Chains A and B, each alone.
Chain A
């Protein structure tokens, strides 16, 4: 169970105004770059991209440099098909284009193998395209504000987890076309619940997951803004992910979502997130690799907050 203690800490923080933060300059240990593979593909009828890149020093505020002479393929182990990803225009990017005979990538239930050949080194990984339920609905609700929060419109996404354990999801949301890309907005679910250890199954996504599509942005005075306003729209993609991917995203959230302040008391140590891409056994002396390969099935739905059809006010 991953319990988000942040709100309690905001409360503490509001009482104890004596904690403070300073941005500091830190000398970090030097290291050799490693290969980074970013291979998240799905069954949407659109171009699929895989990136092969190189890591850079933590404080270098730049894009990762691309590795352009890789050979990238994804093999459908169930149906014995080979998808070749060709070098695209962008640095380190490899692309598979849908066509008339294959309007979208893959098939739900099938197993896939990623192979990336880079010089004499070969990297590989496996992933399944798991099932995904349809999104039942998206709704908005109005809540009156308090001293921490203004009068607000919240959005909620409703979907029902299919019966049977082991379904994991990444729920991605876009507000007015902009992806909610803060680390704190990573919204994942295991069998409609919060984690695999606390067993639930076959129910409507629990409230924290449903509400995980709301941005909590602040204005220039650090006052919270209403997540949505009349006229805004939300678009949600529900992506099936593998169990490994669920764990990975949970680790990414832990390592990147650092609210700071009092929350540091309860921070977990910095640790490397797990990769599911490995050096193929036959290769030796290959540059180490980090990254993730995941194949998703996607269902999607969007809704505009209609000012003429406001939901019932709730206190």
Chain B
């Protein structure tokens, strides 16, 4: 398997980089925004004479190696003025380019914001890129612009329901998404359960979601990769932006540190429900707190053309304290240092080191004699070297490695009962993940291009730690412990190796049509342990061990991409996907997933299959913009001991998923936007019978089935209007500052959309001698229209 795959890879690489004997030179550089100096990810550099080109990478870098000659280079980026440069390539050249944003009106130049046709021409499929400008236009819950909520409007992305943390991609679970903030993983992307995400939109530049066709440089989760890139900070001038909303207040400052060398951005948000509530309630007097905040910082320094260093950091926390001693809090911390280095003109390298930490803590008990304190954390440190070799205009070779060291601290807990303290902490767990990857992005000719690669991953579950062996006595029930051993020192307890082939192919069948296919294998070594409807902040990540196997996903996708209109006014795509997965984790009934040394005995493993068809139609031009996204999907699991060991739909399985997003430019100052969501009901389990034990009424499902019925469908309309402040002063001069108001309504027709249906005996105390009444209750997390208003400024 290994040697075969590697041989195939070498052959492909050889074919695609066939001998070229002319004299070649390289033009390379960075593409940036003219007004802020922000790098432009994915801008296109088009060589007119050759009809070919390149794209900037996530650091805004491009490199084109061409035969000596005269060329006209076109630098394009959506929403920016296209820039043409004539060059005479007789030697290697550096060419840093700055593009002017459409919003900055320059008199002589005609704005040429023709949308690119990258969705047709690029090899990538199953990916969506959203820039922050688009995200800002979408109506937001309580007026708070949200990165995670906006990707939920895209095909193939769904959620268990309102208020639920995270998101589901192509029938995968929340824990099967890798969320990266400047390359560091963020383990819990939600504030306040799932109502808001932890990313401050003021500090986000660009997000890209890989649902399939994942390049070899990414790995570690089987459903998707969400790559969030932070702004670098304005390198030209100081600026302050912020906003006052219903939930958060936001403030960001950015500016140059050393002229033309470096910049920074510092952005913060804090909720203020507790501050506003303080005058009205005494609940908060004895130290109770309810708030969440986050701080994002990034700075960079450009030593010279060949060396740039970036430092990013994030700190976020949610706090819910009932009083000084009791409560609950959680948060992420990440820090990333990156060094971009150019070896010559064609070998771009980036070295990343990051630290990521997620923790939560709980404390109960009003005095020292009786209390309970518990915290849990997962900590990751990583080193990731990555190289891009721009072989020629037709080949871009990416290779590198990834080393991750994990420390899991499932429970650090102490209970004090009547003055006696008992330490109920669980041992830490350690693991080391490593990966080597190589991938090539190649163009065979104008019509056919491919991206193919290999990722070799290894995961070592390390000592010191306890090693257990389990035996299944009855399928689907708690397993029996058969042996227990302690491993001392940093020894490997179990080791897993996986080879992950990745491949995408594009065949362009016309100037505006292409067909794409992709295959990728992904393996996942850390697992989110959660047996509740929605993932919650107390869920614990656990490593692959001698018992828990790596989750493996194989995905196949096929798509047709087509643009319409002279200016690529409409983009259309339809993609079909099929993914089968192995070693998916499920739970025995009554599983204890928190502070349980014997967690492994409560876990079950099964297989999964998810498939779907995704339709996407986007309008790029005119006063009315927006998109329609529709997904027909299914996601099923098969686990021994659940649902009579037959296939059953996953909790987040959704047949139909329709999203319509539109924004309309009413006047230069007013923009209206709306989005409509229609979702099929998700499955749930209904009882058939009742029985009693000791006068307790217990629901019973005579067929022992899981997720046997569906809750009603969900639909909702949100609208918002944005009023931009005047651009000009009374005397006709341009205003230096800009500001805007956003007015919004969430759930306009106040539908009580179901989150779940539960069965219970009601809250009243049962009366002895009377049979107990039972009810079915439908829960709506948001059962009303919610207005919002926010004021945002920029100066």
Contact = CB atoms under 8 A, between A and B. Distances in A.
Interface stretch (B391-399, B510-518, B615-623, B777-785): B777-785
A204 B418 contact: yes
Given A23-B777, A146-B282, A181-B695, A270 B686 contact: yes
A243 to B, nearest CB: 10
Interface in B417-464: 417-418, 420, 422, 424
B692 A179 contact: no
B417 A272 contact: no
B786 interface: yes
B695 A274 contact: no
Interface string B747-758: 000001001111
A60 B690 CA distance: 8
B422 A61 contact: no
A273 interface: yes
A260 B651 CA distance: 18
Contacts of A273: 589-590, 698
Given A198-B424, A247-B590, A38 B596 contact: no
Contact of A21 (B320, B698, B771, B778): B778
B595 A198 contact: yes
Contacts of B700: 34, 55, 58, 272, 290
Given A31-B702, A183-B696, A272-B701, A158 B418 contact: yes
A274 B768 CA distance: 25
Contact of A256 (B290, B590, B592, B698): B698
A312 interface: no
B536 A265 contact: yes
A55 B781 contact: no
Interface string A246-270: 0100111011101011101111111
B765 A1 contact: no
Contacts of A30: 688
B477 interface: yes
Contact of B696 (A5, A61, A256): A256
A267 B532 contact: yes
A283 interface: no
How large, as a class, is the contact surface on chain A?
A: 35 or more
Contact of B589 (A15, A251, A267): A251
Given A19-B782, A255-B699, A273-B589, A195 B692 contact: no
A163 interface: no
Given A29-B708, A58-B759, A183-B761, A274 B776 contact: no
B52 interface: no
B531 A260 contact: no
A205 B700 CA distance: 32
Interface stretch (A6-14, A71-79, A297-305): A6-14
B87 interface: no
A32 interface: yes
A264 B686 contact: no
A295 B287 CA distance: 47
Contacts of A62: 771
Nearest to B781: A19
B276 to A, nearest CB: 11
Interface in B688-721: 688-704, 706-709
Contact of A258 (B477, B689, B702, B758): B758
Given A182-B766, A199-B597, A15 B273 contact: yes
Contact of B420 (A179, A203, A265): A203
B694 A256 contact: no
B365 interface: yes
Contacts of A205: 417
Contacts of A24: 757, 776-778
A30 B773 CA distance: 19
Interface string A181-220: 1110010000011011111100111111000000101100
What is the predominant secondary structure among interface residues of chain B facing chain A?
Answer: loop
Interface in B557-613: 589-590, 592, 594-599
Nearest to A270: B685
A57 interface: yes
Most buried by A among B283, B684, B694, B709: B694
B163 A258 contact: no
A33 interface: yes
A100 interface: no
B689 A207 contact: no
A270 B694 contact: no
Interface in B507-546: 531-534, 536, 538
B193 interface: yes
B415 A269 contact: no
Nearest to B601: A197
Most buried by B among A28, A192, A199, A254: A28
B690 A56 contact: yes
B147 interface: no
A247 B685 contact: no
Contacts of B478: 247
A181 B697 CA distance: 10
A147 B281 contact: yes
Given A199-B424, A270-B685, A274-B477, A182 B692 contact: no
A133 to B, nearest CB: 14
Contacts of B771: 61-63
Interface in B175-232: 192-194
A265 B781 contact: yes
Most buried by A among B362, B536, B707, B765: B765
Contacts of B686: 26, 28-29, 270
27 contacts: A5-B536, A12-B193, A18-B781, A22-B777, A26-B757, A32-B702, A57-B688, A57-B689, A58-B774, A147-B283, A158-B418, A181-B695, A181-B768, A198-B595, A204-B417, A204-B418, A205-B417, A256-B699, A256-B761, A260-B760, A265-B193, A265-B536, A266-B532, A268-B532, A269-B684, A270-B686, A292-B693
Interface of A: 1-3, 5, 7-8, 11-12, 15, 18-26, 28-34, 36, 38, 40, 53, 55-64, 146-148, 158, 178-179, 181-183, 186, 192-193, 195-200, 203-208, 215, 217-218, 247, 250-252, 254-256, 258, 260-262, 264-274, 288, 290-292
Interface of B: 161, 163-164, 192-194, 273, 281-283, 286, 290, 320, 322, 328, 362, 364-365, 370-372, 374, 411, 413, 415, 417-418, 420, 422, 424, 477-478, 531-534, 536, 538, 589-590, 592, 594-599, 651, 684-704, 706-709, 752, 755-761, 763, 765-766, 768, 771-784, 786
Given A200-B417, A272-B700, 8 more contacts: A15-B273, A19-B163, A20-B779, A36-B692, A57-B688, A182-B765, A198-B411, A200-B422
CB-based closest 9 A-B pairs: A197-B596, A1-B595, A31-B702, A20-B783, A204-B418, A271-B589, A207-B370, A270-B685, A198-B424
